[in-house]
Amino acid sequence: MEAIVFEVEIWIDVVEKRDGVLDTVCTLFAPHTLPIRPLCGESLSWHQQRGASHEFQVWSPIGPSRSSSVCARIDDVGHYAVKSEEGVVVYRTSIRCEAIEVPSLDDARALCALMTEQVGFEFDPYAVNRLVEG
């Protein structure tokens, strides 16, 4: 029996929350293969590799909380059609997660390092990226 997999693009905004004000830091995206069909309200989690040392704070309902993994709730699941190089229409699935709130740019930098170095995410080149110098 062949396993069913779902090819998806995942989009996550990282925002800095200071004095109750949210300011976008960057947007992360990555294609992923999931063994389940993603649904709104579910969470996706990524844990760092054993021996890694990425540590950061994220905002929780009770305030900043130290973490070494990323958890993001699925906010929207959408589908769109594109033509392949062969001219065939292919449908793709896009997942937009709720923004991950961090208390500082240093926390955002550590969180993004985990996501880009170990999980395969990239920075959206067309979005704001306050982590890039200059």
Distance CA(88)–CA(81), nearest Å, equals 10
- Residue 63 within any structural domain of the chain: yes
Reduce the secondary structure of 32-96 to three states and give it as a string. Answer: EEECCCCCCCCEEEEECCCCCCCCEEEEECCEEEEECEEEEEEEEEEEEEEECCCCCEEEEEEEE
- Residue 77 within any structural domain of the chain: yes
- Residue 131 within any structural domain of the chain: no
- Residue 129 within any structural domain of the chain: no
Helices (H) and strands (E) in the chain, counts: 1, 9
Residue 81 lies in domain: 6-123
The pTM assigned to this predicted structure is: 0.88
- Residue 132 within any structural domain of the chain: no
Reading the chain (134 residues) residue by residue, the pLDDT tens digits are 667 788 999 999 999 998 889 999 999 999 999 988 899 999 999 988 777 677 898 998 888 889 889 999 999 999 999 898 899 998 889 999 999 999 999 999 999 999 999 999 999 999 999 998 64
How many structural domains is the chain composed of? 1
